[in-house]
């Protein structure tokens, strides 16, 4: 796993939320421009080189990152703590373009570790 800076300021999301529900999760502060740019650079190769959701998620997982849906948007999460880091939109990642490339099957709601 590649060590990344801790971009999250939020407390870890409880892995015991029923059915992976994200209700009652506090609002996530936005990353500053420098942190967002660094994270975008760290993840850019995975998003550009992947040909499907599985390959993308596997590559991100090796970096300690996972993708989850949150309030209808695709978000980047810390894979160990399941703390929300940033929405893909805030990182400049076009989720509509990902759906065109990979198909409509997006990553699942945030759930227990190892999901």
* pLDDT per position as a tens digit, 14-44: 333 333 444 444 455 578 888 889 999 999 9
Distances 97 to 25, 72, 88, 94 between C-alpha atoms, Å: 27, 16, 12, 5
pLDDT for position 18: 35
pLDDT for position 29: 55
Percent of the chain residues past pLDDT 70, beyond the cut: 65
CA atoms within 13 Å, Cβ hemisphere of 81? 12
Rg of the chain taking only CA atoms, in angstroms: 13
DSSP annotation of 52 reads: S
pLDDT for position 17: 36
What does the buried/exposed string (b/e) look like for 64-93 if buried means 16 or more CB atoms within 10 Å of the residue's CB?
A: bbbbbbbeeebbbbbbebbbbbbbbebbeb
Report the distance separating Cα 58 and Cα 102, nearest Å: 14
pLDDT for position 70: 87
pLDDT for position 55: 94
Over the chain (115 residues), what is each successive 10-residue block's mean pLDDT?
A: 41 38 50 89 94 94 93 91 92 91 68 45
């Amino acid at each position: 796993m590649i060590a990344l800076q801790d971009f999250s300021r939020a407390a870890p999301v409880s892995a015991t939320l029923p059915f992976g529900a994200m209700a009652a999760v506090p609002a996530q502060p936005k990353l500053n421009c420098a942190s967002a740019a660094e994270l975008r650079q760290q993840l850019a190769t995975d998003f550009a080189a992947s040909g499907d959701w599985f390959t993308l998620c596997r590559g991100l997982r090796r970096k300690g990152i996972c993708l989850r849906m949150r309030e209808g948007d695709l978000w980047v999460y810390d894979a160990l703590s399941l703390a929300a880091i940033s929405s893909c939109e805030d990182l400049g990642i076009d989720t509509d373009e990902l759906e065109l490339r990979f198909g409509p099957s997006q990553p699942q709601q945030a759930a227990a570790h190892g999901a």
